Amino acid sequence: MIQINLIKLVSNTFWIKVKIVLKYYSKMHFDISEKVKLEEVWEIILNKLGNDAKDICSNSSSFYKTQDGLECALRKINGELVGICYREKNRSNGFRWTINKCD
């Protein structure tokens, strides 16, 4: 959902404020070893999504690095965002992946 607000400034000048709000309706987690490759992570993500994985296109989706670590954007063939996955360190010297599906 995109919210657009017009804010009136001095002498008929307007400032456009755009806010993008992503709503997530499901959150899933899985824990893995540090040694697991991204190809295996991708397969686990698709398995966790079940029937919803049929809409996801591997060519449109991507893994990318952020300041916090590694994330993955799950996208349909037309580029529409289906969900975001992110990785965090867990207590057992591995990683916990979280999958947030968009509403």
Per-residue pLDDT tens for 45-70? 999 999 889 999 999 999 999 988 89
Secondary structure element (H or E) that encloses residue 83, with its range: strand 81-89
**What is the pLDDT, as a whole number, of residue 30?**
94
Cα separation, 70 vs 95, in Å, equals: 10
- Supply the Cα-derived Rg of the chain in whole angstroms: 18
pLDDT in tens, 63-103: 999 988 899 999 999 999 999 999 999 888 899 999 999 86
Contact 48, 99 (CB under 8 A): yes
